[in-house]
């Protein structure tokens, strides 16, 4: 699609100048194969299953080292370790295990029918 936009010309020119602008349609979105995402409730449970043990282990391990630290500093150090561990390692593995379990159950249910 091409659009012409009139511009005001300098005073000595009698004809207005135009500029042609090419506007292209937005590129079609690339559709990735859809993977079934677990429900928000399932993801919340999986996240809790990742976070709770990490926090419990982290508090136990850091307790003797951070005994006299301010609680906010202890929380900062603990979350600096727990959050990336959960986000990049534990939760993806738990989600993969959950997906594998769901696929296995679906195959068994499909085989019986």
41-85 tens-digit pLDDT: 999 999 999 999 999 999 999 999 999 999 999 999 999 999 999
- The pTM of this model reads 0.63
DSSP string covering 33-66? PPPPPPPHHHHHHHHHHHHHHHHHHHHHHHTTTS
Residue 64: the pLDDT is 94
Tokens read off for 60: 């136990």
Q: How far apart are CA 92 and CA 98, in angstroms?
A: 10
SS3 67: coil
Q: How far apart are CA 27 and CA 43, in angstroms?
A: 32
In the block, which residue shows the tokens 């003797």? 64
Percent of the chain with pLDDT over 70: 68
- The token pair that represents 45 in the structure block: 């449970």
Looking at the predicted structure, is the pLDDT value of residue 29 above 60?
Answer: no
From the list 60, 97, 99, 102, the residue with the least C-alpha distance to 78 is 60
- β-bridge partners, 19: 5
Q: What is the pLDDT at residue 111?
A: 77
């Amino acid at each position: 699609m091409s659009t012409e936009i009139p511009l005001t010309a300098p005073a000595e020119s009698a004809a207005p100048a135009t500029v042609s602008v090419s506007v292209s349609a937005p590129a079609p979105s690339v559709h990735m194969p859809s993977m079934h995402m677990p429900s928000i409730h399932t993801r919340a449970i999986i996240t809790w299953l990742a976070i709770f043990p990490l926090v419990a282990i982290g508090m136990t391990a850091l307790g003797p080292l951070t005994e006299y630290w301010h609680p906010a500093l202890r929380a900062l150090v603990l979350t600096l370790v727990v959050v990336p561990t959960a986000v990049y390692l534990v939760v993806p593995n738990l989600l993969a295990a959950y997906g594998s379990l769901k696929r296995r159950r679906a195959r068994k249910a499909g085989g019986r029918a």
